[in-house]
Structure 1
Amino acid sequence: MRILDRYLASAVLGGTLLTLGVLLPLLGFFILAEEVDALGVDGYGFMEAMLFMGLSLPRYAYQIFPIATLIGALIGLGALASRSELVAMRAAGVSVWGIIRASLLGGLVLAAVAVVIGEVIAPKAEQRALELRRQALSGDVSQQTPYGFWAIDDRAFVNIREIESPTRLSDIFIYQVDAATGSLVATHAAGARYQDEGWVLETIARSRVSAQGVTVEHMEQAQWDSLIDPGILKVIVLEPHLLPVWGLYKYIRFMRLNKQDAGNYEIAFWGKVFHPVLTLSMIFVAIPILLGSARTTGFGQRIFIGVLVGILYYLVSRTFAFFALLFELAPLAATLLPPALFLSAALLLLRRVG
């Protein structure tokens, strides 16, 4: 039975890899098509667009993994069905639940791969892609480090330790040399807010180091003429779906402590937590589609049904997410209801097939 389990699991793995091998190049083509208008702007050429596309693909691979698993299971197991191998297995005493259990072994491997892509590879690759794109288009130099966001702002070096939002910053250090006197000026501001097309620093301590010594002055607030704008900072404050689970958890805690609405981030958090379960559930959904239509539809029709089910699931899950934000529903419930509905439908079909 172990040989049979490995055989069915490898069919699911092979079908999913084949599906990703078809879908990811198509997605890459669409990403490049969106970048056509930006080609030729400053230093953004075709090679930069290709690099941006390559670094963006892990995020898309993670997002389409459940649907790719559904289609891959239909392809892999459908190939066995077309050769009557599934019929022979059932005639030999293998139950439908035995086929599901063996297929889920391949799903466990796929779920582990999806977690690695979504939690380790995709966030770093996507942030690097956005930084490279922005640098090529604008020509400025900035870097995100464990000690905050660093940027060269005209002739000053800026370190922002906490980016609360694209228009609100905390714990800012500005280092520059006074062109007139040659003295070093180090400024620390507890916070900064963006208003009226400019920044306003708050609770400022400014140290001036010169040959005569060090002088310190304190101010409540002051204008900050900076090339950094909220559009640049949006690259650093990543969208919820681009953050790893631990990053989402910390950011949700931060927003709650500051009494801010974290609903969008909570939905993204629970979506990532249950992403492996969703990948496995798609294999579960594929089995009744495959077995239930084996006698009445062809292989291509089953794949078409799988694509429709995947699209339908995406639309339902996004609808529940929007409803949760609009009507302030529990994010956990909004995340769990769509897969629960599809699994219930799969169970009903399995009762008919089994």
Structure 2
Amino acid sequence: MRIIDRYLGGAVVVGTLVTLGVLLPLLGFFVLADEMEAAGVEGYGLGGALTFMLLSLPGYAYQLFPIATLIGALVGLGALASRSELVALRAAGVSVGQIVRAAMLGGAVLAVLAVVLGEVLAPLAEQRGVELRREALSGEVAQQTADGFWAVDDGAYVNIREIRSGTNLRDISIFQVDTAAGTLVATYAAEARYVDDGWVLQGIARSRVRPEGVQVERIAQARWDSMLDPGLLKVVVAEPQALPVWGLYKYIHFMRVNGQDAGAYEVAFWGKVLHPVLTLSMIFVAIPILLGSARSTGMGRRLFAGVLIGILYYLISRTLAYLALLFGLSPLLAALAPPLVFSAGALLLLRRVG
């Protein structure tokens, strides 16, 4: 049975990789076409757009992985069905359960690959792509770290610990050296808002460090002449889907402690936690489509069925996610319902086939 397991599982893995190899260049073309609107602005040219597109692909691959697994299982195992190999296996005494188990072993390998892609490669690549794009378009040197957003702003070093939106910042520190006076000026502001084409700092504590001592002054609010604009800072706020699970967990905890609504991040968190389950469920869905048709259905019809199921899954999952945010439903239930529903439907079809 180990040979059969490796053979069927390998067909699923190869089919999925081939599917990703076809879909990702198409997505890359659309991303590049969209980026061409910004190409030519400041230092952002064709090379920058190509780099941004390539760094975006791991994130798109992670999002596509469940649907690619479904189509890949239909492609890989469908090729075996077209050559009557699945029929021969069943005639030789291989049960439906054994075929499912072998396909699931291949799915387990793909699930591990998806986790590495979504938790390691995609966040790093997407963050780097955004940083390169931002620097090319704005000419500013900025970096997003675990200690917040850092930027060099007209000679001053700026650290923003929380970006609520492009126009609302919290916990800002500004460090600047006054060479004429020979002093270091450290300014802390509890909040900054973008009002009337300019920044207004609120809750300010300003320290001037001189050789003879430190002078501290407190100001209720003051204007802040900064090169940072809301359009730049909006791209720093990462989409929940682009964050790794641990980063989502920490941010959810932070928002709860501060009494903020973390609904969107909770939905993304549970979606990522259950991503391997979804990958396996897609393979489970593909099995009855293949065994029910054997060699009577062509590859084109199987692929069409896989695409329809993938679109249906996407619509259901997105609808449940929006309902969870709108009506305060359980994010775990919203993320768990689609794979459970599809797996239950596949199980019913498998019992008929068996």
Q: Secondary structure at 1:267's aligned position in 2?
A: helix
- 1:61-72 correspondence runs (5 A): 61-72=61-72
Amino acid at match of 2:41: V
Q: Secondary structure at 1:236's aligned position in 2?
A: coil
- CA distance in 2 between counterparts of 1:135 and 1:225 reads 19
Question: Is the CA contact (8 Å cut-off) linking 2:84 and 2:295 kept in structure 1?
Answer: no
- CA distance in 2 between counterparts of 1:247 and 1:24 reads 26
Amino acid at match of 2:150: W
Question: Is the CA contact (8 Å cut-off) linking 1:163 and 1:237 kept in structure 2?
Answer: yes
The structural deviation recorded for 1:214 is 3.8
Query: Residue in 2 aligned with 1:115?
Result: 115
The structural deviation recorded for 1:182 is 5.1
The structural deviation recorded for 1:55 is 0.3
Question: Is the CA contact (8 Å cut-off) linking 2:84 and 2:294 kept in structure 1?
Answer: no
- CA distance in 2 between counterparts of 1:240 and 1:284 reads 28
> How high is the sequence identity, in percent, across the aligned residues?
72
- CA distance in 2 between counterparts of 1:170 and 1:326 reads 26
Query: Residue in 2 aligned with 1:341?
Result: 341
The structural deviation recorded for 1:195 is 3.5
Query: Residue in 1 aligned with 2:262?
Result: 262
Moved over 6 A (4+): none
Query: Residue in 2 aligned with 1:31?
Result: 31
Query: Residue in 2 aligned with 1:150?
Result: 150
The structural deviation recorded for 1:62 is 0.0
User: Which 10-residue stretch deviates more, 132-141 or 255-264?
Assistant: 255-264
Query: Residue in 2 aligned with 1:127?
Result: 127
User: Which 10-residue stretch deviates more, 331-340 or 10-19?
Assistant: 331-340
Q: Secondary structure at 1:159's aligned position in 2?
A: strand
Query: Where does structure 1 lack aligned partners over 5 or more consecutive residues?
Result: none
- CA distance in 2 between counterparts of 1:239 and 1:197 reads 25
- CA distance in 1 between counterparts of 2:197 and 2:261 reads 25
Amino acid at match of 2:280: L
The structural deviation recorded for 1:281 is 0.4
**Measured at CA, do residues 218 and 72 of structure 1 come closer, stay the same or move farther in structure 2, by a change above 3 Å?**
same
Amino acid at match of 2:95: S
- CA distance in 2 between counterparts of 1:332 and 1:147 reads 29
- CA distance in 1 between counterparts of 2:6 and 2:100 reads 12
Question: Is the CA contact (8 Å cut-off) linking 1:292 and 1:353 kept in structure 2?
Answer: yes
Query: Residue in 2 aligned with 1:42?
Result: 42
- CA distance in 2 between counterparts of 1:39 and 1:197 reads 26
Query: Residue in 2 aligned with 1:223?
Result: 223
Amino acid at match of 1:13: V
Question: Is the CA contact (8 Å cut-off) linking 2:71 and 2:303 kept in structure 1?
Answer: yes
Query: Residue in 1 aligned with 2:191?
Result: 191
User: Which 10-residue stretch deviates more, 186-195 or 28-37?
Assistant: 186-195
Amino acid at match of 1:313: Y
User: Which 10-residue stretch deviates more, 141-150 or 241-250?
Assistant: 141-150
Question: Is the CA contact (8 Å cut-off) linking 1:127 and 1:235 kept in structure 2?
Answer: no
Query: Where does structure 2 lack aligned partners over 5 or more consecutive residues?
Result: none
Amino acid at match of 1:35: E
Question: Is the CA contact (8 Å cut-off) linking 1:161 and 1:170 kept in structure 2?
Answer: yes
Query: Residue in 2 aligned with 1:353?
Result: 353
The structural deviation recorded for 1:322 is 1.4
Amino acid at match of 1:331: P
- 1:276-295 correspondence runs (5 A): 276-295=276-295
| Cα RMSD (Å) | 1.7
Query: Residue in 2 aligned with 1:297?
Result: 297
- CA distance in 1 between counterparts of 2:213 and 2:244 reads 47
2:112 is equivalent to residue 103 of structure 1:
no
The structural deviation recorded for 1:165 is 4.0
Query: Residue in 2 aligned with 1:202?
Result: 202
2:73 is equivalent to residue 73 of structure 1:
yes
The structural deviation recorded for 1:197 is 3.5
The structural deviation recorded for 1:301 is 1.1
2:12 is equivalent to residue 17 of structure 1:
no
Amino acid at match of 1:338: P
The one-character-per-residue Cα deviations of 1:177-233 (angstroms, maximum 9, x if unpaired) are 347645432212233333443332233222224566543222222221212233222
- After TM superposition, the score normalised by the length of structure 1 is 0.95
User: Which 10-residue stretch deviates more, 57-66 or 299-308?
Assistant: 299-308
The structural deviation recorded for 1:290 is 0.9
- After TM superposition, the score normalised by the length of structure 2 is 0.95
Query: Residue in 1 aligned with 2:160?
Result: 160
Q: Secondary structure at 1:223's aligned position in 2?
A: strand
Q: Secondary structure at 2:37's aligned position in 1?
A: helix
